[in-house]
């Protein structure tokens, strides 16, 4: 019986090394002053203090997520450079909801077969997302698992860590009647609802990723692969100028506006949203035009054009809205907080 190698079992270590050689440059572009140099080693090092930061009672804020079946669209379209941005966004926007300053990010990529070009494209997106979010890409893991993933299949997970002074945490407890809901525009579907999207677009409508959508001026693949907006620079600027006036924040992901806003509401407070106060994204309108999904289901699954919500003091709402729109951020006054049974109503 002839000897068997790791390559015979589906893992090519030479290809793996080729992929790893392309990653240090992508990590280096995200380096921040508090990343500590380390030759070799098995983990990354990050200083909590330094670079002018001094904390009295620091709290680490962490979040983890994936990209979901949006990856199936990327595979079908053969486009892999933006889903890494989605990965970072899904994690760091969650941490941002607590008022955290993002610090660093770790990623995990699992594939069915070694593919240096695919790995480089995925990490390029992660690197870009970290740059947008002001985080260091501190490390990661790439696993080749041929018996778990089929050829061409892969999955991604991410892990973000931030920090906030304990006294500056934004946990929703300060939300009160009279507060105003400000919505920040989404870029598209972000990274939620893609099992339903694929069912509607590819199965019911019979479209392909390469098909042109005249109303959008792009292909189906391009429309569905628009990366999730990273709200860190915009929201952090508001926190720097109006920290005491920001009472709660919600990242609008799976569950839509109602479920994600309700998560942060104190008891005996409710939010009423005015649907006519904001403009849905063009891709949202396009999906509606395809039919097949009832309006209530659209509300439950998709962000409907609003990717992030701030609940702010009524007296400062106009100033905050002006600041947001002055940064080329599309934002709207979309509702208000009232006394009543805890919940969210969209009218």
Confidence of residue 329 (pLDDT cuts 50, 70, 90): confident
* Confidence (pLDDT) at 118: 95
Q: Is residue 270 part of a domain?
A: yes
pLDDT beyond 80 at 306? yes
Distance CA 48, CA 103 (A): 9
Count of domains forming the chain: 2
274 and 324: one domain?
yes
pLDDT per residue as tens digits for the range 118-151: 999 999 999 999 999 999 999 999 999 998 998 8
Q: Is residue 6 part of a domain?
A: no
Residue that finishes a domain, picked among 114, 135, 168: 168
Contacts 24+ apart (CB under 8 A), 56-60: 56/165, 56/167, 57/165, 57/166, 57/167, 58/163, 58/164, 58/165, 58/166, 59/163, 59/164, 59/165, 59/166, 59/169, 60/161, 60/162, 60/163
140 and 225: one domain?
no
220 and 325: one domain?
yes
CATH number at residue 114: 3.30.1330.10
95 and 202: one domain?
no
138 and 197: one domain?
no
71 and 93: one domain?
yes
310 and 224: one domain?
yes
Among the listed residues 23, 113, 117, the one whose alpha carbon sits nearest the alpha carbon of residue 78: 117
Provide the domain limits for residue 126.
13-30+55-168
Residue that finishes a domain, picked among 138, 168, 198: 168
Written as six digits, the tokens of 228 are: 């999730």
* Confidence (pLDDT) at 211: 97
Distance CA 27, CA 311 (A): 35
DSSP string over 280-310 = --HHHHHHHHH--S-HHHHHHHS-TTEEEEE
pLDDT per residue as tens digits for the range 251-293: 999 999 999 999 999 999 999 999 999 999 999 999 999 988 9
pLDDT per residue as tens digits for the range 75-96: 999 999 999 999 999 999 999 9
259 and 289: one domain?
yes
Residue that finishes a domain, picked among 130, 147, 168: 168
Q: Is residue 334 part of a domain?
A: yes
Model pTM score = 0.96
215 and 283: one domain?
yes
64 and 102: one domain?
yes
134 and 216: one domain?
no
184 and 117: one domain?
no
């Amino acid at each position: 019986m002839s000897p068997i190698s790791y390559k015979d079992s589906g893992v090519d270590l030479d290809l793996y090394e080729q992929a790893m050689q392309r990653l240090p440059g992508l990590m280096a572009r995200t380096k921040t002053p508090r990343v500590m140099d380390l030759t070799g080693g098995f983990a990354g090092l990050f200083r909590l203090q330094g670079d002018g930061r001094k904390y009295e009672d620091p709290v680490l804020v962490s979040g983890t997520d994936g990209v979901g079946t949006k990856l199936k669209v990327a595979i079908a379209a053969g486009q892999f450079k933006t889903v890494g941005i989605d990965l970072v966004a899904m994690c760091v926007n969650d941490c941002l909801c607590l008022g955290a300053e993002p610090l660093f990010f770790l990623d995990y990529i699992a594939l069915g077969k070694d593919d240096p070009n695919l790995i480089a494209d995925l990490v390029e997106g992660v690197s870009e997302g970290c740059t947008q979010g002001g985080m260091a890409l501190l490390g990661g893991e790439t696993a080749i698992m041929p018996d778990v993933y089929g050829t061409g299949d892969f999955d991604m997970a991410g892990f973000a860590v931030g920090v906030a002074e304990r006294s500056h945490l934004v946990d929703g407890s300060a939300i009160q009647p009279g507060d105003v809901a400000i919505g920040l525009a989404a870029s598209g579907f972000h990274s939620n609802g893609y099992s339903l999207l694929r069912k509607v677009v590819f199965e019911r409508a019979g479209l392909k990723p390469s098909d042109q959508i005249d109303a959008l001026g792009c292909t189906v693949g391009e429309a569905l692969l628009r990366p999730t907006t990273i709200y860190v620079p915009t929201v952090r600027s508001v926190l720097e100028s109006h920290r005491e006036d920001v009472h709660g924040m919600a990242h609008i992901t799976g569950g839509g506006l109602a479920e994600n806003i309700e998560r942060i509401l104190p008891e005996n407070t409710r939010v009423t949203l005015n649907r006519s106060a904001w403009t849905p994204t063009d891709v949202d309108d396009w999906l509606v035009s395809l039919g097949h999904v009832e309006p209530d289901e659209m509300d439950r699954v998709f962000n409907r054009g609003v990717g992030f919500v701030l609940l702010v003091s009524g007296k400062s709402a106009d100033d905050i809205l002006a600041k947001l729109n002055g940064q080329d951020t599309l934002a709207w006054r979309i509702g208000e907080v009232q006394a009543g049974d805890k919940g969210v109503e969209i009218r």
